[in-house]
A and B are shown apart, each in its own frame.
Chain A
């Protein structure tokens, strides 16, 4: 597809479980971002990749959160020992270069029960 693809679109998991969220960016985009959006709020930055490396992970809330982008394309956000407070929409965006137009996927709605 031409846009940013995120899977799954919805994920319900039990407290304490491990989850992986996948992002497939627009082909050729070197910059990839993960954001988290709670109801009624704007997206909050989690982590930014330039190529394969995490250029800025300062937004990750704690060490239960981790993300990889091993080949500089698809990225996976991993959350260990999920908590109810992790429930949110996780958004992925990509751009050709940092601070050029960033395009978002539809998000993964994570619900921790």
Chain B
């Protein structure tokens, strides 16, 4: 079992839809949660960083962390064709390895 599981998609939605992207993780020591967006042949771009359980909002993006269920989500409101990319969840811990563990990424396609 991978430490971080993420549905690879592709996920195809019409423009304007609300998108829900999710990851589950197995290690309760994980404390830091990030979402990255990666366009084809580009490096990952940081979208959201959260530390605790709960919600964090930034424009059209909302990150949600449920540590009790080991489940994190990224919601995108009013999705746009420019949101078409691969979304990676990344999780970190203060103990053990100090580097991020990534999910495999979900490919999102927003149809105009």
Contact = CB atoms under 8 A, between A and B. Distances in A.
Contacts of B32: 99
Given A42-B88, A91-B44, A105-B43, A56 B102 contact: no
Interface string A61-81: 000000000000000000000
A43 B97 contact: no
Interface size band for A:
20 to 34
A67 to B, nearest CB: 13
B14 to A, nearest CB: 25
Contact of A41 (B90, B93, B104): B104
Interface string B13-52: 0000000000000000001101010000111111001000
A48 B99 contact: yes
Interface string A92-106: 010000111111111
Nearest to A97: B98
Interface of B: 4, 6, 8, 31-32, 34, 36, 41-46, 49, 88, 90, 92-94, 97-105
